[in-house]
Chain A
Amino acid sequence: MSEIAGDVLVRMQGVSKRYPLVHRNADRVRAMLRLLGGRRGLADVAVLQGIDLTVRRGESLGIIGENGAGKSTLLKVMTGVLNASEGRVEVQGSVAALLELGAGFHHEYTGRQNIATAAALMGMTGEEIRARTDEIIEYADIGRYIDEPIKHYSTGMVVRLGFAVVAARRPDLLITDEVLAVGDESFQKKCVRWIEDYLGNGGTLLLVSHSMYHVQKLCRHALWLQGGRIQGQGDVYQVTQDYLAYHERKTAAESAPEPRSADADGYRIERVALNGREGLVPLVLGEGSPLDVDVEVYSGDDRAPHLAIGLTRADGTAVYGTTSEIDAARASRSGRRRYRMRIEFDALTLLPGQYTLKLHALDPEGLRLFDTEVRELVIRGHSRELGIVRLAHRWT
């Protein structure tokens, strides 16, 4: 590892990682002989490609992406656990990594023995380890289990132990991979507090997580990996929201479109404009923006239909729904067998996230549901409030 400029802790240039495809034992032998001969191995599959990344001191970077996007591999290549197939990786300063649940722990050994191994692997000297073991044990807070073999531990206890060693190490760069998700609530809070404190003191963090909450809370920047390549990089809110929007689109594409009723006598949504814009592209709004939904409905019998509107969260949780029948609103006739309806929200109190707007055409009695149109809605913002909507409130 060569010298790199002062405040840069990690620099990766054109890094890729390939895994060989070996199915049979004969392949392994052939691969070995090729490697011994100094040639490249057999056919392989790339899990990381063309990664350029610089991490500076004091940075907090969240790494997000689908399962199998290469997030863990990226961290492993960075920490030297795996060797890059191509490209350059330079790392400076002390690094502590919590890559996998119980990684580096030996199941037959006790917690105390594993602390010693883990600390030695992180580069602590024998003296430091002896001096800090009690502190680590206290932080891990797993009581008398500390002298039991790790195999008797619960998952949460293993994570506690791992995190306690890292906390004692106080590295220049902390790398964690989705391990926070395992501990119980109080331990998660303890970890998050510790990380915030660590970042406050100039620590550098790389965090892989599927929890956008954790990523947004702890990181200033985010990196979105997709199929082993960098798909997006930048401000944490921007990137996480793009990522969630991608998921929305994917889910929408997977769920089969609901059959349209072609009933000549029925009612059908002809046109939808959100804030004056038509089309299926998700509408991106800031927090508290107004929303104007303009709908034209075809009416088979030329009677004025009703319209239902519903908002759901990405996971299908209903947020709010109403109909023109409930609100006693009337559609205005805009042409032969055509009715127009408009509903305006002055300021949406939705919190940042992905939402689905569902529109249904109802018969004039407001009883039967005829047609469904779906639009995606993305609310962007920096709010760290929890939940779906902001309820009007005041602190006194």
Chain B
Amino acid sequence: MQLLWHFFGREFRSRYLGSMSGLLWAVVHPALQLLMYALVFEKIFKARITGAEAHGMVAYLGVGFWAWTLFAESSARASTSVIDNAALIGKVAVPPHLLVIASVSSSAALHLVGYSAALTLLALTGSAIDPLGVLLAIPVMAMLMVWTMGFALLVAAVQVFVRDLAQVLSQLLAFWFFLTPVLYSRAMLPEFAQSLMDWNPLTYYPERLRSLILDAHYAPGWNDLTALLLALAMLGLGVLVFTRLRRHFEDFL
């Protein structure tokens, strides 16, 4: 536990406090991001998303976007967390799962700070952010982190054996992003595609966050349960693969 905390702190510092203005970026970055959406989508593309009219483009995008970023960025970073620390594994006795957990949780912590800042900014600039919805979004984000942790353990373990994975993963995540209704809403798709979206486990998160935070739609449904089970299943798969392979990391690093 001591060691995990240490690695978490080290990772966290190196990523944020290492830069000059430190945590300030955690607030400035989301503000710039929101500003960029406002500029690009509202002013340049004059984009219209079905279902977004009531809330404004910026709020609509902002609420869903951080969930995606948390998943994608944490996974991408965590995928190399074992091989990046090859200098540790095989030299000192360090439980490798700590490296992955520290990597995921420090990325996630940063994005959670960013998300909170973005929501605060949206509320301050007049968007209708529902406070109870934000509170209820906490378990949703927790589920997302469970899912992300499982996925990260899986890719970090496989990365040791398949070195091309990092490249494949960045392509895959880019592709996956467009299959996930972050920049658009499901209602804009043709009929058959709308039901196909349910096969993407990540569809749930931006949609559910928007319904909670923007539409104040609190009632839990089957999709919440499915998402929870999927997140737990991903965690189970990640832990299974990681524990099977971890004894052999040293031989393949």
CB within 8 Å for A82 and B6 given contacts A20-B252, A32-B161: no
Contact A36–B241 (Cβ < 8 Å): yes
A-B CB proximity, top 4 nearest: A103-B91, A32-B161, A104-B92, A80-B93
Q: Which residues of A contact B241 (CB under 8 A)?
A: 36
Contact B2–A125 (Cβ < 8 Å): yes
| Number of cross-chain contacts by CB at 8 Å | 81
CB within 8 Å for A41 and B90 given contacts A28-B162, A113-B10: no
Task: Give the residue name and chain of the B residue nearest to A22 (CB).
Answer: B252
- Which chain B residues (206-253) contact chain A, with CB distance < 8 Å? 241, 244-245, 247-248, 250-252
Contact A121–B93 (Cβ < 8 Å): yes
Contact bitstring B87-121, A, C-beta under 8 A = 1, else 0: 11111111000000000000000000000000000
Q: In angstroms, how far is the closest chain A Cβ from the Cβ of B134?
A: 33
Contact A19–B251 (Cβ < 8 Å): yes
Q: Which residues of A contact B87 (CB under 8 A)?
A: 103-106
How distant is the Cα of A120 from the Cα of B3 in the complex, in angstroms? 6
Interface size on A, residues (CB 8 A): 37
Contact A36–B245 (Cβ < 8 Å): yes
Contact B162–A29 (Cβ < 8 Å): yes
Contact B10–A117 (Cβ < 8 Å): yes
Size range of the chain B interface in the assembly: 20 to 34
Q: Which residues of A contact B162 (CB under 8 A)?
A: 25, 28-29, 32
Judge if B67 is at the interface, Cβ distance under 8 Å: no
Contact B252–A28 (Cβ < 8 Å): yes
- Which chain B residues (32-79) contact chain A, with CB distance < 8 Å? none
Contact A97–B161 (Cβ < 8 Å): no
Task: Give the residue name and chain of the A residue nearest to B5 (CB).
Answer: A126
Known pairs A22-B252, A35-B244, A104-B94 / 4 extra A-B pairs, C-beta < 8 Å: A41-B251, A80-B93, A81-B92, A99-B92
CB within 8 Å for A20 and B93 given contacts A35-B245, A36-B241: no
Contact B3–A103 (Cβ < 8 Å): no
Judge if B163 is at the interface, Cβ distance under 8 Å: yes
How distant is the Cα of A83 from the Cα of B3 in the complex, in angstroms? 20
Contact A35–B248 (Cβ < 8 Å): yes
CB within 8 Å for A31 and B161 given contacts A36-B245, A82-B250, A126-B2: yes
